[in-house]
Amino acid sequence: MFQTWNWKQATPYAASKLIGSGVLYLATILILDGFRHVGHWPETAKVPHYWIFYYGYAPLFSILVDYLTRKTNPEDHIFIKIPLYLVGGTLPFVVLLGGFHLFSMVASLIGIACASIYYGVSSCAYRFNRLWPFSSVISVVMTVFLAVLVLL
């Protein structure tokens, strides 16, 4: 994936990372506010920590994992990438919350769930993007939707 870059390969790859971030962000908004409290969506979308984690940390960590596993056998990726994503879901909470204690462990479980969802969505989106190149539009629409929520 990282050997030779051209727009035809880089666009679906970047779009898959944006789709993973967008789906995770929308899931967070729906879990926190639900459909009954649609009016609260803009306030939830404005939380800067979510933007940092979902559109900063998650794609960068995912790209790092992809880079580290680029020379491994593709059939073995699931056995290498999943544990790395689990570490990626745990690491920020253990570091930010100052070690292993009950609160950091509960937050880490949420982080592990988010990392697993991100991996699943971005992997499926990348495979789907290779079949239907116009699905990159979904990543742009989802990002614009979240940006509009912030502006409300």
Identify the band that residue 131 occupies on the pLDDT scale cut at 50, 70 and 90.
low
Q: Tell me the CA end-to-end span of the chain in Å, nearest whole number.
A: 38
Overall residue count recorded for the chain in this entry: 152
Q: What is the per-residue pLDDT for 59?
A: 92
Model confidence pLDDT, tens digit, residues 70-119: 888 877 777 888 899 999 989 888 888 887 788 888 888 988 998 999 99
CB 138 within 8 A of CB 19: yes
pLDDT number for residue 147 = 77
Helix (H, G, I), strand (E, B), or coil: what is residue 79?
A: helix
- pTM of the prediction? 0.80
Q: So what's the pLDDT on residue 132?
A: 62
CA 72 to CA 62: how far, in whole Å? 16
